[in-house]
Structure 1
């Protein structure tokens, strides 16, 4: 392994609580974090250091599990164990709570914006995925509730260019959704993991999907032509499984849109970067471990997020309440 992954900054982001998730704004000028302290924090760079610009502490009554920026960067959504999702609107250097989305029966585990900015997806421990529509007056309406999972839904992610949604669940499955006749329906169910699927990430083009699991593997799925003339479902197949690299649950996976590198966050306190072998058959891709930091935070690593504009810049967060900023340098 000639590639390097070096820590650049460490931030004591959520003292005395877990830091669950970090998300870069679309231009990468801000970093949002959330945690067990019920707060969302917004970070910005001042000179060579990162400073907390504001703390959003009045939106939720319980742990904030995920945060997501709208594609325009003017809105931030936060999903909480209090069964609500808050929509925050950016006002100069501050944020105000615009609206609170209610309806899930219990913990909201994830929130994600569609690439158009007109749709929002949330998922919950209540086993459902909700699709929300946003109008020009910033009004949010739930337009579809999909119950394709049989257990807690951990994560939702949108395709980078299409209105195609994927979800991951405690039921070991991944579901793919599309809108059909003004309603959303499950078009494919990806089965192969033997334990909880924690997170998902599409590749830069959206042709493939990476999933990570409690079974300590990462699977790469590729969309393929459906067989037997069946147009009612879409076909995805597992074309690669990364196993033997992780010693505990893999909590997050992220595909870098700039370099194509794949990074994982693991319960063994490790961060691992994988590079695809460009000489391999695209139908049978090969990913090699190119960089590994075995003791990244001193506790579980919960999230990994590539910077959207600066190649190789990576943010991670941990159960110890810390955020770390890393620089990944590749030999090729």
Structure 2
């Protein structure tokens, strides 16, 4: 049921089993060939990455298991924009780069440098840069070189605690990181290949979070982002960056808080993701998934978001990741401490 009593449903369509430990993170391949079915990667505490594809009978099957490379939990996975490479970040302090070639996945590079657990990896929109972050409080930026070589071009120091996630802007070479130190940091190149923190969003100055920030996601236009936290809130941020003039490099520090969604989850919100259809999904430690959409009302000053659905007991344990399918904005994947990955379909008239 949605926030207005309309017939909106999040229906479980498939349950993917195979991980022998908690399922930590998910990534849909963003760039498939014409007519190809969606491809989903999942990673977990069993030190593996699983690749899932739709079977001829309409079900889903695990077609590849990437293993024997990481020797601890695989915490994050991320496809390159062209869909040809998969980065996997592990508690073993390494990030592996996998390439699909000859009908099989091959580990073509292992990135070392972080002092301990790597928590997240993210590719820039051009695919030439990869960002990683770690419990060591640092964010690293790697540049792809010929021959599957990767050079560290920047080590970003600024967070005072464990960095939980990094995410590149979908259009500009702007990087956002979120941390156990309760802050959100925006990083940009000054034009001379020097990376700097250009904005820090905190509770005191910018209506930020009061506890650990776990996740960040941009909308498709890149003019808004959503963050979620241990404080049980989601926050919406808006920018005045002129995205039609990305080459100017101006205004990177212009993110402003515009909305707080609170009272919907009873425990830590671990994941939030913005779909191409402009739905926001959140998954939390209360085992629930919530879906939100912007309220189209001229009576409210500034953007306002409403709950359209809360799926109680979506999993049997904490939900660590929710991700909308880029090829179908009404298909959602979720990963949980219960070891399962679930696929959901959003049905009904959201505007009713």
Q: What do residues 226-271 of structure 1 show as CA deviations (whole Å, max 9, x unaligned)?
A: xxxxx897132110000011100000000001x1000001100000
- How do 1:150-229 and structure 2 match up within 5 A? 150-180=160-190, 181-191=192-202, 192-224=208-240
Q: Do the aligned residues in 1 keep the contact of 2:38 with 2:327 (CA within 8 Å)? A: no
Q: What do residues 214-234 of structure 1 show as CA deviations (whole Å, max 9, x unaligned)?
A: 000000111247xxxxx8971
Ranges in structure 1 where 5+ consecutive residues have no aligned partner: 226-230
Distance in 1 (alpha carbons) for counterparts of 2:230 and 2:41:
26
Distance in 1 (alpha carbons) for counterparts of 2:222 and 2:259:
16
Matched, 1:60 2:64: no
Distance in 2 (alpha carbons) for counterparts of 1:232 and 1:71:
25
- How do 1:55-94 and structure 2 match up within 5 A? 55-94=65-104
Q: CA-atom RMSD, angstroms?
A: 1.5
Q: What do residues 92-115 of structure 1 show as CA deviations (whole Å, max 9, x unaligned)?
A: 431001010000000000000011
| 1:278 aligned residue | 296
- How do 1:99-110 and structure 2 match up within 5 A? 99-110=109-120
Change in 2 beyond 3 A, CA 1:122/1:280: farther
Q: Do the aligned residues in 1 keep the contact of 2:223 with 2:240 (CA within 8 Å)? A: no
Matched, 1:24 2:25: no
Distance in 2 (alpha carbons) for counterparts of 1:264 and 1:42:
23
| 2:126 aligned residue | 116
Distance in 2 (alpha carbons) for counterparts of 1:238 and 1:198:
17
| 2:246 aligned residue | none
Provide the secondary structure at the position in 2 that maps to 1:312: strand
Change in 2 beyond 3 A, CA 1:9/1:172: same
| 1:234 aligned residue | 253
Normalising by structure 2, report the TM-score: 0.89
Q: Do the aligned residues in 2 keep the contact of 1:207 with 1:223 (CA within 8 Å)? A: yes
| 2:339 aligned residue | 321
Provide the secondary structure at the position in 1 that maps to 2:255: strand
| 1:228 aligned residue | none
- 1:204: Cα distance to partner? 1.1
| 1:12 aligned residue | 17
- 1:12: Cα distance to partner? 1.1
Change in 2 beyond 3 A, CA 1:327/1:175: same
Candidates 275, 279, 285, aligned match of 1:256: 275
Distance in 2 (alpha carbons) for counterparts of 1:298 and 1:233:
41
Q: Do the aligned residues in 2 keep the contact of 1:187 with 1:232 (CA within 8 Å)? A: no
Ranges in structure 2 where 5+ consecutive residues have no aligned partner: 203-207, 242-249
Provide the secondary structure at the position in 2 that maps to 1:235: coil
Q: Which runs of 4+ in 1 moved over 4 A?
A: 280-283
- 1:273: Cα distance to partner? 0.5
Provide the secondary structure at the position in 1 that maps to 2:13: strand
